[in-house]
Amino acid sequence: MEQYRMRMGPVFMLVLVLVSALIGIASAEVEKGVVRSDATEAQLNLINELQGKDITVLEYMERVHPEHLVGIPDSYKKNMAGQKMTWWAMEPAPDNDTNDDQPALDRATVSVSATGYKFDWRTIRFGGTCTASGLENPPWYIYVEAFLINRDSGQTVDSTSASSQQGVWSVTASKDKLYPANGQYYVHAWGYIPTPYYAEDLDDTSVFSFP
C-alpha cells in the first residue's frame, strides 16, 4: 500500500501540471491576436496634452498608442489619416452616437458602448466595447479605447484600450482603477474600424461619484 501511494503521488502531480497547462493554453487562445494596453503616465500626459487639438486619428495613434499600429497596412493608415480626431466635451453626453439607430445593411458601421461605476470602496471599474456590423465578414482590424475622465478638471485620469487584427466582430477594453481621488467622473469610449473605409462611434456614461 505504501508503495502504491508513493507511485500515485508523482502521477497525481503530473496530472495537475498537465491540467494547468491546458487551462493556460485555453486562456491564451481567447486572447490570441488581441492587443491590450493600459495607459502609462506618459501616455496619459500625452492624451491630456493633445485633447482638443486639431489632429487626425492616425496622428493620435502614432503619438499615443503606436503599440496598436504594429502590422497595420499603409492603406488602412491612409483612411485613419483622413479622419479628424473627435474629442469629448467637459460634460458627458450619454446619448452621444455618431451612427444612425438603424444603420443601412450595405455599409460598414460600428457601435460603441461605455461603462463606468464605483465597484467598491477602493475601485472604479470602467471600459468600452466596439462592435462592427454591415459587413459580410468581420473587419480585419477593430479598436476601442475607454477614458476615465474627472468631471471637474476635464482631465483623463486613466485609459485602457484594445485592438484586434484577427477578424472579430467586437472587442472590449476594461480596467479597475484603484484608489482614485475623490470626485465626480464619467467614462468616454471611442472605437473605430479603418477598412473598407473609416467608421467610428462614441459613447459617454452618466456622471458618477467616488467614493
* Per-residue pLDDT, 97: 53
Q: Is the pLDDT of residue 24 over 60?
A: no
Which class is domain 35-210? mainly beta
Q: Is the pLDDT of residue 14 over 90?
A: no
* Per-residue pLDDT, 94: 60
Per-residue cell: 14: 503530473
Domain boundaries, the chain: 1-32, 35-210
Q: Which residue has the higher pLDDT, 31 or 158?
A: 158
For the residues 17-45, what does the mean pLDDT come to?
64
* Per-residue pLDDT, 51: 95
Q: Is the pLDDT of residue 22 over 60?
A: no
Q: Is the pLDDT of residue 29 over 80?
A: no
* Per-residue pLDDT, 108: 74
Residue 98 neighbours by CB distance under 10 Å:
16
For the residues 153-170, what does the mean pLDDT come to?
95
* Per-residue pLDDT, 20: 40
Mean of the per-residue pLDDT values for the chain?
Answer: 84
Q: Which residues of 187-207 are buried (b: 16+ CB within 10 A; e: fewer)?
A: bbbbbbbbbeebbbbbbbbee
Q: Which residue has the higher pLDDT, 89 or 77?
A: 77
Question: pLDDT class for 95, splitting at 50, 70, 90?
Answer: low
* Per-residue pLDDT, 138: 93
Q: Which residue has the higher pLDDT, 148 or 16?
A: 148
* Per-residue pLDDT, 197: 85
* Per-residue pLDDT, 33: 79
* Per-residue pLDDT, 159: 98
Q: Is the pLDDT of residue 1 over 80?
A: no
